[in-house]
Structure 1
């Protein structure tokens, strides 16, 4: 049986419920001003859909070709307030993804790139559709905590990453589903935007192919 986890601590530095019916110019409900704008390619977009008593956003469906696929992501401006450094951080979202829509990798939330800077990221991996949490810091390498369960079943799930000084944990529906040790020296601080649903609007953007709601980031 998976262990239940206490609620995450820290201060909200970004929060999006998507209940305003907008697909760009999306207000940061943490009050920190990290407004999201839509970036897109090849006709990609996000669409407002109902979820519970509010709304969520549907991202482009899985592409059946290998070129000219629609791409779309939501990005904030770069902000140092979204960099945890070595401090505790937790971030997550509610997602709905069908098994037929899984791919090699799909990004839910990320800031930074492992190849060029430090990074934190929540993603869904492979055909099985298991979430994972990724952290990368200079001198400490790439660290991944992988979930033992899939979320690619066409139902809503909450997914969350938590970093404490020496551990990285992935949670699904409030239960711990994977963890690993990390260095207390691992620091994430970069000048990249917060990105939701993909790392950009270009071809190899790790596009998310389902519905996302209730995205949040807490630091401290």
Structure 2
């Protein structure tokens, strides 16, 4: 395993989408923060509205517009990300809107593949929601040919060894799903989207835990839900990871591009 840092130069990413251009880098755009009050969002297909709560604090957010070095947490909470990699894995900066996004290694079926993830250096208590409401999301871009059995967008903790919250892309269909795992009762609670995001276009994807409900939203519309125990608690000493579990082989590598990752608790 080795560490690597992404630099200032933009690199072409043929495995992500032809729409990603490389020159020049536009002026930095401010990150559009998730809503502090979680407003009710209608389900475009079903015409239903999830019951969501108000309040909450943004505890981490990343716009990926920095020129070099570590990836700064723009929430002000200090959750700086480092890039960890193996077998030549690296993240590459690409233009997205008025700023930049990060592209991860493309799908690989070889015996040894590049792996890379972004991780907080250490765990922090304010990334553990306990039994409180939590919302987390990102903007993602993934082509149909880059799907796999499972790709992690953002997570904290592991389902088999600790509690967990996670946003991922599942299966060849490329459907987002949201996962919560209690610290003492290990069954995985999952809400899976009814629609895919693997079409080569940018999409916003979001998970919301509100009381006994877990919702998954795509482009602001409710696309899946499940019921969870009211006392489900998520507290662990693991780092938060973006784009994969780590730099080892079984890391559920994300194979597209990510932007504007955020976490809100409360």
TM-score bracket for the superposition, by shorter chain length:
over 0.9
| Structure 1 vs Structure 2 CA RMSD | 1.5
Give me the whole-angstrom Cα distance separating, in 2, the residues matched to 1:159 and 1:9.
20
Match of 2:116 in 1: 72
Q: Which residue, 166, 187, 190 being the options, matches 2:233?
A: 187
Structure 2: distance between partners of 1:125 and 1:70: 20
Superposition misfits of 4+ residues, deviation over 2 angstroms:
2-9
Which of 164, 172, 187 aligns to 1:141? It is 187
1:46 paired residue number:
91
Distance 1:4 1:21 in 2: 40
Equivalent position SS for 2:205? strand
Higher relative contact order (CA 8 A, sep 6+): 1
Q: Which residue of 1 aligns with 2:26?
A: none
Q: Tell me if 1:201 matches 2:232.
A: no
Q: Structure 2 stretches of 5 or more lacking a match? A: 1-44
Distance 2:54 2:220 in 1: 10
Shift of 1:21: 3.0
- 1:72-91 to structure 2, matched below 5 A, reads 72-76=116-120, 77-91=122-136
Paired with 2:259 and 2:55, the residues of 1 have a C-alpha distance of 20
Deviation at 1:43? 0.3
**Which secondary structure state, in structure 1, belongs to the residue aligned with residue 249 of structure 2?**
coil
| Structure 1 unaligned residues grouped into runs of 5+ | none
Farther-moved stretch of structure 1 (10-19 vs 136-145): 136-145
C-alpha separation between the residues in 1 aligned to 2:132 and 2:200? 34
* Distance in 1 between residues matched to 2:97 and 2:49, nearest whole Å: 24
1:159 is aligned, of 205, 210, 231, to 205
Matches within 5 A, 1:23-38: 25-38=70-83
Q: 2:152 aligns with which of 87, 107, 112?
A: 107
Q: Offset at 1:164?
A: 1.0
Give the deviation of 1:4 after TM superposition.
6.4
SS in 2 for 1:57: strand
Larger relative strand fraction: 1
Are the structure 2 counterparts of residues 92 and 146 from structure 1 closer, same or farther at C-alpha, using a change threshold of 3 Å?
A: same
Cα deviation, 1:93-116, whole Å, max 9, x if unaligned, reads 000000100000000000000100
CA contact (8 A) 2:148 2:170 kept: yes
Alignment of 1:13-32 (within 5 A): 13-22=59-68, 25-32=70-77
Contact kept in structure 1, 2:94 and 2:103, CA below 8 Å: yes
Which structure has the larger Rg? 2
Q: Of 174, 179, 199, which aligns to 1:129?
A: 174
Preserved CA contact (<8 Å) 2:159 2:186:
no
Specify the SS of the correspondent of 1:100.
Answer: helix
* Distance (Å, rounded) in 2 between the aligned partners of 1:203 and 1:180: 31
Identify the match of residue 98 of structure 1 among 118, 143, 162.
143
Q: What is the DSSP-based 3-state SS (H/G/I as helix, E as strand, rest coil) of the residue aligned with 1:128?
A: coil
Partner of 2:161: 116
